[in-house]
Each structure stands twice: as C-alpha cells, then as structure tokens.
Structure 1
C-alpha cells in the first residue's frame, strides 16, 4: 500500500508576533511570504490548500502563482479561535488560566474561544476533503498539531514537543480511508 505526501506548512511570519493570533487576520510580512515560497520550492505538489486568514492565504497564493496552480481556500484550516484572547500577548493573561488552557484546551478553552475538540473536528473534515494528489496545506501551528493528533495519535503533551516556526514544513505520508493515518517523513524548520 502506498500513501501520498501531505505537506503542512505554517504560515509566514505575521506583521505582529508574540501574540495569540487565533482568528485575528493580520497578514504575513513580505519576508514571511518569501520564506514560505522558498521553503515550498523543493516540494513536488499537484494541489495547494490554505487557510482563509491572510497570513496563510497570501503565502499560499504566491506559491501557487509560481506553479500556475489555483489554490483552494478552506477556512477549516484556520488557527484555533482564541476568543477574548485573540491578538493578546500571553504575558498579559492570567497565568493560571493560560496554564489551565495549555494543560487541557478542551475543558479550559479561552473565554469565548474554541475548544480543542472543535479544532480537531474542523481539521478532520478538512483532511477528508483534500485532493488525491500530493498536496501542500498552508495553515497554522494549532491546525498542524490537530492534524498530527488525528493522523499520528499524538497526545496533547507530545504535540508541544514539536517546534513549528513560521514557514516550517511538516511532511507526512498519508494513508486515507475511513480512519486516515500518517507517518512523519520530514520536518524543515
């Protein structure tokens, strides 16, 4: 049985860093977009999918234009909605509430924000809608971690063992099916 490659790329560096951006729609910097384009240069893909948020969509559109591919924009690949915490520096938040969120983001979501299980459900649906050819998805750190949890079975603590800097690309060999699974075959950070 052969799987197909799925490349999950974190968006380019946004104009504002050091904050929980969530659904806040700050664009990637020109340098952040260029870093994504450079990272994607060696990838052999037939399709490109992106979150609808500017910091992911604009780099995906630049990558797609260089390959004469029309990118698919899919809001299911958005970052976790941090609700009242969107755009806030974590240092400005109540330390106990932030620790509770990191320990159990499903039971202790941000105020007015999204539960981890909701993000996983979105990403699961998005995975099921991917085209059959090797695909690049330009997305967010949270969505990438949700995909790893779903495809590789990582638990919450293990997910934070991966550093996913801006423009990093995680490649998995994906075996689709009723319960898709994957093997990590590369991480370029």
Structure 2
C-alpha cells in the first residue's frame, strides 16, 4: 500500500520526570537518549525533523550522526505551552483547574498557556510542509496526539487513550488528499 511514512518519536526521558514541560528546556538522560536510539534502530527513514527543545534535539542529533543525516529543526513540533503550569507537577495544580483542561483544553487552557487548537494548527502545518520522503520527527507527546487527531480523526478524549511514554515510536502511513488521512502502522513503547 502506498503513502508517505511518518514516524513520530517522543523525546528521551528527562532528568526531572513528572513535570509539565511544554517550553521548558529540560535536559534528557543518557539512558533516555540510548532508549530512543535503540527504538529507531530498525526504522527506515530518509529525513529527520526535530523540535528545537534540547530533550528532542539531542536525540535527533544522535540519530542523525549514526545515520549520516542532517537534522531539520521545526518549532511547530514543540510541546504545548503550559504557561503558569510549566515546571509543576499535577499534584501542584488544583484539580478544579486541571480536570477541565483535560476535558476541554480549548475552553480551559493552562493560565497563560496555549490552546489545543493552536497546537493542532501548528502540527497540521508542519505535516503539510513534509515532502514524500519517509520522515522521522523527534517531538513530544502533545504534538503526537495532535497528529493522531488531525490525521486519524480522533477526538481529544480518544488521543489520551494512547500511552506515549518517553521513547515511544508512533508510525503512520499518510494518504494524500484534502484533508490527508493516515493509518497507524506501528506503535512501540
């Protein structure tokens, strides 16, 4: 079956897990980088795109060096901006504020943060800019979920049904059209 292959790799484990890290540039662990490199060892792609945040770009640069490829950074693949929640744990945030965010992140974005639809638009634009080459994107769980919503038609609640831990690899086959649609052809966690 034809169609463009898009692999979405969640960045490596970070030094301080369990925090809302949207735009916060948190370093990743050496073990996390190794897990990401191992995850894509048998994955075929001709292009690497990365979020510019260090937890993604360090992984992308390691993969690129091993394959003699260049990394293209694209800020559209950055995580959702969590505003006032940046660097905090879920336990630090009042449940009365957190639950509405998960139920409807457009109506209840984090204070000073980004709405789900803004993330979805960024990711849709980034996907539209890709060419036909098989591509690996090193990104974050939010953009991966936005890609599932946009390409597969999942609603916001359905995209949370996917477990996307650090180093998760989601592979999609994109079929062109208006709008483009995709099939999930692999999920490795």
TM-score, normalised via structure 1 length: 0.98
Per-residue deviation at 1:177?
A: 3.4
- Partners of 1:177 and 1:20 lie apart in 2 by 35
> C-alpha deviations, 1:28-78, integer Å up to 9, x for none?
111111111111111110001010000011101100110000011001000
Specify the alignment match of 2:137 in structure 1. 137
The count of residues paired between Structure 1 and Structure 2 equals 189
Partner residue in 1 for 2:97:
97
- Paired position in structure 2 for 1:165: 165
Task: Report the 3-state secondary structure (helix = DSSP H, G, I; strand = E; otherwise coil) of the residue aligned with 1:43.
Answer: coil
Cα separation, 1, equivalents of 2:79 and 2:6:
18
1:70 maps to which residue?
A: 70
Query: Quick one: distance in 1 between partners of 2:28 and 2:180?
Result: 31
Moved over 3 A (4+): none
| SS in structure 2 of the partner of residue 106 of structure 1 | coil
Alignment RMSD: 0.9
Of stretches 172-181 and 15-24 in structure 1, the one that deviates more from structure 2 is 172-181
Give, in whole Å, the separation in 2 of the partners of 1:14 and 1:129: 29
Distance across 2 between alignment mates of 1:6 and 1:23: 24
Q: Name structure 1 gaps, 5 residues minimum.
A: none
In 2, the alpha carbon distance for the partners of 1:180 and 1:13 equals 31
The residue that corresponds to 1:83 in the other structure is 83
User: Aligned partners of 1:114, 1:137: CA distance in 2, in Å?
Assistant: 21
